[in-house]
């Protein structure tokens, strides 16, 4: 039996699961880690795109896991974001889909981004002290309830 190009690309034929095809769970995981680190550093997608020499749209596609990232480009992104390439793969389990960020994770990322945008060091220190005090209070309440 001869297989045509159309048949190879038809839904359910497994074409999307072959290596070298469309982005997969690992690509989405790496993209999510890029976004996480970018937000931690207080960078916009436009700023990251400019730093790595791509368009804003391309950076957006990388973060969404829609486009695959070459090894060289991932190395460059790691350099710009100050992390080793391996950092992007941390937490990636084999054969599992990338998980969406929980509301708590999104809140933590937003907190880190907003903290990075505070330029007044006294305000940063005050916020840090408040967080330590609230954490200590929560810990004391947990210890008292146990």
Per-residue model confidence as pLDDT tens digits over 27-81: 999 999 999 999 999 899 999 999 999 999 999 999 999 999 999 999 999 999 9
- Mean of pLDDT over the chain: 82
The alpha carbon dihedral of 24, 30, 34, 39 has a sign of positive
pLDDT confidence of 23, banded at 50, 70, 90?
low
pLDDT confidence of 22, banded at 50, 70, 90?
low
Name the class of domain 22-92. Answer: mainly alpha
Q: How far is CA 10 from CA 4, 6, 16, 22, in A?
A: 10, 6, 10, 14
Per-residue model confidence as pLDDT tens digits over 110-126: 888 888 889 999 999 99
Cβ 65 vs Cβ 27: under 8 Å:
yes
Dihedral, CA of residue 33, residue 37, residue 42 and residue 43, to nearest 10: -70
**Can you tell me the distance from the alpha carbon of 106 to that of 88, in angstroms, rounded to the nearest whole number?**
18
Q: What is the pLDDT of residue 9?
A: 37
CA atoms within 13 A on the CB side of 144: 6
Per-residue model confidence as pLDDT tens digits over 80-100: 999 999 999 998 876 544 456
Q: In terms of Cα–Cα distance, which of 37, 129, 119, 36 is closest to 79?
A: 37
Domain boundary assignment for the chain:
22-92, 100-146
Cβ 127 vs Cβ 115: under 8 Å:
yes
Q: What is the pLDDT of residue 46?
A: 94
């Amino acid at each position: 039996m001869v297989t045509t190009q159309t048949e190879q690309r038809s839904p359910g034929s497994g074409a999307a699961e072959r290596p070298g095809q469309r982005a997969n769970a690992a690509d989405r995981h790496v993209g999510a880690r890029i976004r996480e680190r970018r937000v931690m550093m207080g960078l916009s997608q436009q700023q990251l795109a400019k730093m790595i020499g791509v368009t804003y749209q391309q950076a957006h596609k990388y973060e969404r896991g829609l486009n695959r990232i070459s090894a060289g480009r991932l190395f460059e992104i790691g350099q710009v974001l100050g992390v080793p390439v391996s950092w992007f793969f941390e937490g990636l389990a084999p054969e599992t889909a990338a998980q969406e960020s929980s509301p708590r994770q999104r809140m933590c990322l937003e907190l880190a981004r907003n903290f990075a945008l505070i330029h007044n060091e006294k305000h940063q220190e005050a916020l840090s002290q408040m967080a330590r005090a609230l954490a200590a209070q929560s810990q004391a309440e947990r210890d008292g309830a146990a």
